[in-house]
């Protein structure tokens, strides 16, 4: 029995060693390059709106590819469907009236490679506009075209659409109401099995204007103290009035094995909320190995105890 258990443990150790060096080693791969690339200067434009006044602005649309691109610009309402903030680009509400207040400079344009177009917009705020958040989204569509203006066929990806969200804050006669609650602020479970380390936040906004939040994540090796991953306040997001938003920020491609100290920060309204935890990342196979080894060791100990008790009975004549 002892011989067989030893052989099983040695075999499991060998398999785990091969697994660690084969599947947990860093892998690098070149990203697939798209046939064309379209970009915008920003995807979020916060604007302060005063009843009876006009606000003007502009943003650039870039062609980073090697072919001419036909731009098509449209605008529509922007609202959210659930706590994960899946976009609703068709439903009109009292907070999407801004779509009727906006005029813009171009509906279509052709942009040559390595150049850009400028989209100018003008927002005329009604004199009786109430204090509220107002949201709309420009849909910037780019399609590859030939020199004669015809669309290019035979390319797997020859068009794309980017959304540029207008985040308006109207300050009318009623005072703005700022009422936000950090409902949850969590870090990954103490043991992460074959997954990425992440931090989650759930925020409720009961006010009448949107609130901008900034979230950061720092991960250090708990043994060496060395910095492993960091996002410093680069993640910003808005919480619309009378909505709850759930956000995740994670470490893409977290190592398959390691012990880490994780620190998450959320900042809004001049306040900072911190959360710190120690997290063990372990592959599923290794976890199964540890459990199986523990079970085998327990079985072996029980077996040895029974053998010893039997020997004692024999010596005592029972």
Task: Tell me the DSSP string of the chain.
Answer: -HHHHHHHHHHHHHHHHHHHHHHSS----PPPPPS--EEES-SEEEEEE-TT-EEEEEEEEEE-SSS-EEEEEEEEE-EE-STT--EESS---TT-GGGGTEEES-SEEEE-TTEEEEEEEEEE--TTPPSEEEEEEEEEEEEEB-TTSPBP-S-S--EEEEEEEEEEEE--SSPP---EEEEEEEE--SEEESS--EEEEEEEE-SSS-EEEEEEEEEEETTT--EEEEEEEEEEEEE-TTEEEEEEEE-TT--SSEEEEEEEEEEETTEEEEEEEEEEEE-HHHHHHHHHHHHHHHHHHHHHHHHHHHHHHHHHT-
* Distance (Å, whole) CA 203 – CA 210: 12
**pLDDT of 214-228, one tens digit each?**
889 999 999 999 999
**100 phi/psi in degrees, rounded to 5:** -90, -5
Q: At residue 1, does pLDDT exceed 80?
A: no
**Model confidence band, residue 153 (pLDDT cutoffs 50, 70, 90):** low
The count of other CB atoms within 10 Å of the CB of residue 299 is 12
Reported as a pLDDT band with limits 50, 70 and 90, residue 168 is very high
State residue 148 phi and psi, 5-degree precision: -85, 0
Residues of the chain with pLDDT > 90, as a percent, come to: 43
Q: What pLDDT, in 10s, does the model give residues 19-67?
A: 444 444 443 333 444 457 899 999 999 999 999 999 999 999 999 888 8
pLDDT number for residue 173: 74
Length of the chain: 318
Mean pLDDT of the chain: 82
- Least confident interval from 7-11, 128-132, 274-278, 306-310: 7-11
Which of residues 145 and 248 earns the better pLDDT score? Answer: 248
Whether the per-residue pLDDT at 3 is higher than 60: the answer is no
Prediction pTM value: 0.69
pLDDT over 80 at 73, yes or no: yes
Q: Is the pLDDT of residue 210 over 80?
A: yes
Tokens representing 242 are: 């009378």
Around Cβ 315, how many Cβ atoms within 10 Å?
8
Q: Residue 234's pLDDT is what? A: 65
Average pLDDT for 281-302: 81
Check residue 30 and give its pLDDT: 38
Question: What is the DSSP code string of 203-240?
Answer: EEE-SSS-EEEEEEEEEEETTT--EEEEEEEEEEEEE-
Model confidence band, residue 155 (pLDDT cutoffs 50, 70, 90): very low
Structure tokens at 255: 């190592």
- Per-residue pLDDT tens for 249-281? 888 878 888 899 999 999 887 888 999 999 998
pLDDT of residue 316: 57
pLDDT in tens, 86-119: 989 999 999 999 999 999 998 999 999 999 999 9
Distance separating alpha carbons of residues 148 and 68, to the nearest angstrom = 10
Instruction: Give 23-78 as a 3 state SS string.
Output: HCCCCCCCCCCCCCCEEECCCEEEEEECCCCEEEEEEEEEECCCCCEEEEEEEEEC
Cβ(97)–Cβ(39) below 8 Å: no
């Amino acid at each position: 029995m002892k011989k067989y258990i030893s052989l099983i443990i040695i075999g499991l150790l060998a398999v785990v060693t091969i697994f660690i060096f084969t599947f947990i080693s860093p892998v690098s791969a070149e990203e697939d390059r798209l046939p064309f690339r379209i970009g915008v200067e920003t995807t979020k434009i916060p604007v302060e709106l005063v009843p009876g006044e006009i606000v003007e602005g502009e943003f650039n649309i870039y062609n980073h590819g090697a072919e001419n691109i036909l731009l098509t610009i449209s605008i529509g309402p922007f609202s959210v469907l659930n706590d994960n903030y899946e976009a609703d680009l068709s439903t009109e509400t009292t907070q999407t009236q801004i779509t009727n207040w906006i005029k813009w400079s171009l509906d279509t344009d052709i942009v040559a490679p390595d150049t850009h177009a400028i989209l100018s917009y003008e927002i005329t705020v009604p004199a009786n506009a109430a204090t509220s958040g107002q949201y709309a989204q420009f849909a910037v569509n780019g399609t590859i075209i030939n020199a004669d203006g015809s669309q290019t066929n035979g390319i797997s990806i020859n068009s794309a659409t980017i959304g540029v969200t207008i985040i308006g804050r109207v300050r009318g006669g009623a005072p703005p109401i700022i009422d936000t609650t950090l409902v949850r602020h969590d870090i990954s479970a103490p043991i992460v099995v074959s997954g990425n380390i992440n931090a989650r936040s759930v925020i409720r906004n009961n006010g009448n204007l949107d609130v901008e939040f900034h979230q950061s994540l720092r991960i250090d090796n708990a043994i060496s103290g060395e910095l492993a991953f960091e996002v410093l306040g680069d993640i910003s997001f808005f919480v619309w009035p009378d909505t709850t938003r759930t956000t995740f920020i994670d470490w893409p491609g977290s190592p398959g094995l390691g012990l880490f100290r994780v620190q998450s920060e959320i900042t809004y309204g001049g306040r900072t909320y911190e959360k710190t935890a120690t997290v063990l990342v372990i592959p599923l196979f290794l976890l199964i190995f540890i459990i199986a080894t523990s079970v085998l060791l327990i079985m072996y100990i029980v077996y040895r105890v029974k053998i010893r008790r039997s020997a004692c009975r024999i010596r005592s004549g029972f």
